Amino acid sequence: MVNVAVFDLVGPFAHFRKYYTNSSSLSYAFPPRTALMGTVAAVLGWERDSYYEKLGLSEARFAVVIKVPVRRLIQTVNYIRTKEEDLNRLRKLEAVKGTQVPLELLLPGGTASSLCFRVYFAHRDDQVTRELAERLAAGRSYFPLYLGLTEFIAQARLVDFKPPDEIIPAGQEVELHSVLAADYLRRPVLRGEVALNRERAPQSFGAGRKLMPPRSYIYEMQARPWRAELLIPAYSFFLPSGKETVAFMEGELWPSSPTVTAKESA
Amino acid sequence: MLEAIELLGKTVGGGDLIAGIIEDLKNIPKDPEEGFYLVKLDFREEEPGKLRLRFDFEEIPKNKEQRYEFLTRWRHVGNASGHNPQKFLTTNQLHYLTGQVIPNLLQELSSQGEEGSELARKLKIIREKAFSCLEGGEVVLDLGRLGIAGEEKAEKEESKQGKKKAKEQAKQVADVLVKLVEQKLGIKKRQVGLWTLLFNGEPLVQAEPYDRVILRYRLAGFEGEDLVAGTCLVCGKEKEKVSAQAFKRLKFFKPYITDKVGFASGVSESGFIRNFLICEECFRSFLVVENYLPQHLNFRVGTLSFLLLPTFILFSDSPAWRQEFSRLMNKLTRKTQAFTDLSALIKGEEELERTLEELFEEEGIEDQALLNFLFYQKTQSEFRILGLIKDVAPSRLSRLFRRSNALAQEGRRLLGGEVKDWWIDLTRLYYLLPLRGRDRAEHKKLLYLYQGLLRGEPIEYSFLVKEFLELAHLYLTGRFEGTNQRKPNSGQEERALATQLLHAGFFLKLLREEGILKGVKDLPSFEPDQELMVNQEMREYLKSINYSEPQAALFLLGYLLNEVGKGQYSSGHQSKPVLDKINYQGMNWSRVLSLANQLFEKLRQYDRLRGQNEILYAEMKRLLDRYRQDKWPLGPEENVFYILSGYAYGTRATVLKKEKEVGE
């Protein structure tokens, strides 16, 4: 089974703007797949616009777990106004009017002091996953990391690097920790205190940084695991902090790294 | 949120886009006797080479369904937004019709290649025979050419430039027409909801191709060079034409804009095609939804507006599910309306019973949807999101209903009045916080309260106590201007304050019972039955509100303060000077003790230290004295709040007694 790099993205604030809001910017409760692509590329030092294919839906697998309940706060921020009439003044570096934009911030809820998103990443090319894990373990991210906005600096810490410990086949009831692509849900099993939410978020870029079709995701609001029957397999990892079961945003993991298989057959 | 909009679009948006974007009227008179009209300006070819203007009118139905049918017939789609040229023939602004609409519409028809259409032919006749051209080339309705004498223009207006002058003149002409309508039809300006144009008795809105003009205006984003082939980021389908600029034609719901390149990828206008693209089909749904939202899912609490947007974890595209969805939406909006402002929904006790029964009835609705409360501010074309309270389960509303109902029943039993007087809903909470109107961030306090209540999140006790004290101070000083508080009728100030403070007490009780009151000290409660010598009503009240010993001591102190106040009032004081002894910023333990000692003297001075009051004073002192050696557990602000709660209870008891006496 292919290796998976498990790492935590930690920071005090976050804002992952919903692509359909800008005059009032609302945030997803978790980093969408496009933000995770950027994070991995930043750790590996891949330049902007160079990695969309390398981390595309067929090449990379991502899963994300919201580890700390998220609190939301709308704060109005001052942006520079960039209407057509302002552009000439801006070009001449003259003072221009500002524009106020309500920005929804994510903050740690409960008693936590930082937000924490646990990312599960696997690449078809095992070397990519391995390099990511090594860089994270050594604390050598190539570019600085942030949670959505450059102002919200983040740290990444490697949690583990290994293949999944257990595969739970599709159709079985699982206790899921990760965000789930809605079309992989066969049936939620609503027991106890569970508050599910559904969001449509981007998943990848195409040529020219154009957004690919977005997808709906389901997550638990209070960072609690929830039970469901899925249409895809789920993967359990025995981590130092305990067992976690996730479903990848793109579906199944590869049984083994194709690169390795090719080498072996050669 | 996007899914909620898409879902609504699929459900409420039928095939007929024009029917979907018909706008309702805002200023319908509340008086059922007063009529509200569409006035028709009918240009008639009665003499060769000339036009005559005739007036006609039709009543706009008050019944919502009939009105909707009426407005659809007359194609009322509102006015063009922002700086866009006005081109709609049914409008609430008469000066658009006397000025720019006809030339703009003719230009539009020409650009569509419809110069030869029935509509263009009629409009050209009107423009040639009834309008005059100004120096700048602008045209304005010329009443002189229609045989109607207009008022002389002031000389200084002649110097005004082109468009501005034309606009002024169009308004002057409109004023003359308004007077004529009043004379000839007997309809006053405020009774005119809409104006429209007719030609030889035929409504111009029915002439070909007026409907296409409307559609072209709203779907302008799907014409021109900006269109690309690509993926619609709403439905996710590949389409031949998707637009990044279509959103410009949204009028109400605009959380996404394309007029500032700073928001575009690469900080250039062409970068918008990398951000958010929409296909025509989805945009049509958007248009219908943005019209539907303010009419059906918009709620108001004081000066604050919010939209109710439902989310469904699982949904299907089947017609049966859509039907079910409509039913669910009706139920959810009614529930939300009731929790927003119960008093506005019901009239009497009987109706309350029926409404509650209906609201409490559960049919699995609780599991099917989550509610999002989107608080917003709409100023001109800007749509600013103030806050989003996400994922409120309808069962949470039901739970709060039940809690509020139980409290309200108890309020009536203990303090008299009607059940709805003690009901806690969003509107009541709005008036429990003193909000300064000028401060744009004041809404945050209220949203904090709503979020806590609706999502079951903790609310700071100290924050509430501080706010309640400010509220009391505001009522006692009478400085209501610039705040969200309604000025009570003269002579009713004390009663209003007492009611507010009692509501505050009940609200704290509700939060405590819900387990979301944060930062409150866990003080031992006591049994007023066994440990306090007070009358039965007060004992019941103290028991219900579950005050601890120190709180009860302050409550009694406040009650006696009211007794002194009554004494002062009856001895000729215009106000109650004893209230000046309270410091609304907070009073520490020694100040409380000092007030308790002064109170004894004052009770004697105003001859109030008799009967029950003497016992109450003794009880109050006994409870306070228990803490002489130990540390007093309440903070300075809490001290004042509980004193005021006793004062409020006393005031309410006095008012009830007076009312009873008058009744007898």
List, for residues B329-382, the tens digit of each pLDDT value: 888 898 899 899 988 777 777 777 787 777 777 666 556 788 899 999 888 778
Query: ipTM score here?
Result: 0.90
**Residue A266 binned pLDDT confidence (cut-offs 50, 70, 90):** very low
**Residue B664 binned pLDDT confidence (cut-offs 50, 70, 90):** low
Cβ of A24 within 8 Å of Cβ of B385? The answer is yes
**Among B572, B570, B554, which residue's Cα sits nearest to residue B647?**
B554
Check if B32 contacts A (Cβ < 8 Å): no
Mean pLDDT across B647-662: 84
Q: How far is CA B569 from CA B426, B488, B575, B580, in A?
A: 36, 19, 7, 14
Q: How many domains does chain B have?
A: 4
B261: nearest CB among A82, A185, A215 = A82
Instruction: Clarify whether residues B503 and B648 are in a common domain.
Output: no
pLDDT by residue (tens digit) across B566-583?
A: 888 777 777 777 778 888
Say if B18 falls within a structural domain.
no
Instruction: Clarify whether residues B548 and B475 are in a common domain.
Output: no
A211: nearest CB among B3, B260, B274 = B274
**Residue B432 binned pLDDT confidence (cut-offs 50, 70, 90):** very high
pLDDT at B150 (0 to 100) = 57
Q: Which of A82-86, B624-628, B643-647 is least confident?
A: B624-628
pLDDT at B656 (0 to 100) = 80
* B324: phi then psi, degrees, rounded to nearest 5: -60, -40
Instruction: Clarify whether residues B504 and B586 are in a common domain.
Output: no
Cβ of A214 within 8 Å of Cβ of B386? The answer is no
Q: How far is CA A105 from CA A152, B140, B233, in A?
A: 10, 52, 24
Q: Cite the beta strand spans of A81-138 per DSSP E.
A: 98-108, 115-123
Give DSSP secondary structure letters for B179-191: HHHHHHH---GGG
pLDDT at B632 (0 to 100) = 85
Q: How far is CA B334 from CA B337, B344, B387, B454, in A?
A: 5, 12, 22, 16
Res. B468: pLDDT tops 50:
yes
Q: How far is CA A38 from CA A52, A62, B661, in A?
A: 9, 12, 76
Question: Under a CB-based contact definition with an 8 Å cutoff, are residues A211 and A201 in contact?
Answer: no
Say if B296 falls within a structural domain.
no
Say if B450 falls within a structural domain.
yes
Say if B20 falls within a structural domain.
no
Cβ of A24 within 8 Å of Cβ of B383? The answer is yes
Helix (H, G, I), strand (E, B) or coil at B307: strand
DSSP category for residue A205: B
Q: How far is CA A224 from CA A108, A193, B502, B568, in A?
A: 14, 9, 39, 60
Cβ of B276 within 8 Å of Cβ of A215? The answer is no
CA distance B294 to A161: 52
Instruction: Clarify whether residues B650 and B547 are in a common domain.
Output: yes
Instruction: Clarify whether residues B516 and B631 are in a common domain.
Output: no
Higher pLDDT, residue B173 or B628: B173
With CA atoms as reference, the chain B residue closest to A86 would be B260
Domain end residue (candidates: B500, B520, B540) = B520
CA distance B69 to B135: 42
**Among B327, B394, B326, which residue's Cα sits nearest to residue B362?**
B394
Query: How far apart are the CA of B319 and the nearest CA of chain A, in angstroms?
Result: 20
Q: Above pLDDT 90, what percent of chain B?
A: 40
| Tokens 């899914």 sit on residue | B3
Say if B511 falls within a structural domain.
yes
Q: Determine the structural domain holding residue B329 and report its residue range.
A: 302-520
CB neighbour burial string for A244-260, b if at least 16 within 10 angstroms, e if fewer: bbbbbbbeebeeebeeb
Instruction: Clarify whether residues B176 and B235 are in a common domain.
Output: no
Q: Which residues contact B65 (CB under 8 A, 6 or more apart)?
A: none
Question: How many A/B residue pairs have CB atoms within 8 Å?
Answer: 111
Question: Under a CB-based contact definition with an 8 Å cutoff, are residues B481 and B422 in contact?
Answer: no
Q: What angle do CA B24, B198, B163 make, to 5 degrees?
A: 80
Residues of A at the B interface, defined by Cβ within 8 angstroms = 18-24, 26, 72, 74, 79-84, 87, 99, 102, 104, 185, 188, 190, 195-200, 202, 206, 208-216, 218, 221
Coarse DSSP helix, strand, coil percentages of chain A, rounded to the nearest 5 percent: 20, 40, 40
Res. B189: pLDDT tops 80:
yes
| Tokens 């697998």 sit on residue | A61
Question: Under a CB-based contact definition with an 8 Å cutoff, are residues B244 and B276 in contact?
Answer: yes
Res. A107: pLDDT tops 50:
yes
Res. B619: pLDDT tops 50:
yes
Helix (H, G, I), strand (E, B) or coil at B195: strand
* A153: phi then psi, degrees, rounded to nearest 5: -60, 140
pLDDT at B87 (0 to 100) = 92
Instruction: Clarify whether residues B642 and B616 are in a common domain.
Output: yes
A87 chain-B contacts, CB cut-off 8 A: 261
Token pair, residue A102, equals 């309500």
Question: Under a CB-based contact definition with an 8 Å cutoff, are residues A72 and A104 in contact?
Answer: yes
Question: Under a CB-based contact definition with an 8 Å cutoff, are residues B486 and B431 in contact?
Answer: yes
**Residue B13 binned pLDDT confidence (cut-offs 50, 70, 90):** low
Instruction: Clarify whether residues B71 and B46 are in a common domain.
Output: yes
Check if B448 contacts A (Cβ < 8 Å): no
pLDDT at A264 (0 to 100) = 43
pLDDT by residue (tens digit) across B471-530?
A: 999 998 888 888 999 999 887 888 899 999 999 999 999 999 999 999 887 776 777 666
Res. A254: pLDDT tops 60:
yes
**Among B358, B491, B495, B499, which residue's Cα sits nearest to residue B428?**
B499
Alpha-carbon torsion B254, B260, B266, B268, what sign?
Answer: positive
Cβ of A23 within 8 Å of Cβ of B384? The answer is yes
> Which of A18, A22, A87, A194 to mutate to test binding with chain B, by most B CBs within 10 Å of its CB?
A22
Res. B106: pLDDT tops 70:
yes
Token pair, residue B342, equals 């119960």
- Which CATH architecture is the domain A4-79+89-246 placed in? 2-Layer Sandwich (3.30)
**Residue A136 binned pLDDT confidence (cut-offs 50, 70, 90):** very high
Question: Under a CB-based contact definition with an 8 Å cutoff, are residues B341 and B301 in contact?
Answer: yes
Instruction: Clarify whether residues B366 and B504 are in a common domain.
Output: yes
Question: Under a CB-based contact definition with an 8 Å cutoff, are residues A47 and B276 in contact?
Answer: no
pLDDT at B11 (0 to 100) = 80
Say if B381 falls within a structural domain.
yes
Cβ of B262 within 8 Å of Cβ of A81? The answer is yes
Provide the residue ranges of all domains of chain A, joining segments of one domain with +. Answer: 4-79+89-246
Instruction: Clarify whether residues B477 and B568 are in a common domain.
Output: no
A72 chain-B contacts, CB cut-off 8 A: 388, 390
CA distance B235 to B243: 13
pLDDT by residue (tens digit) across B30-69?
A: 787 888 999 999 999 988 888 899 999 999 998 888 999 9
| Tokens 């302008």 sit on residue | B220
Say if B28 falls within a structural domain.
no
Question: Under a CB-based contact definition with an 8 Å cutoff, are residues B101 and B89 in contact?
Answer: yes
pLDDT at B161 (0 to 100) = 62
In the chain, the amino acid numbered A56 is G
Say if B289 falls within a structural domain.
no
Enter the pTM of the model: 0.87
Instruction: Clarify whether residues B640 and B576 are in a common domain.
Output: yes
With CA atoms as reference, the chain A residue closest to B228 would be A210
Instruction: Clarify whether residues B476 and B463 are in a common domain.
Output: yes
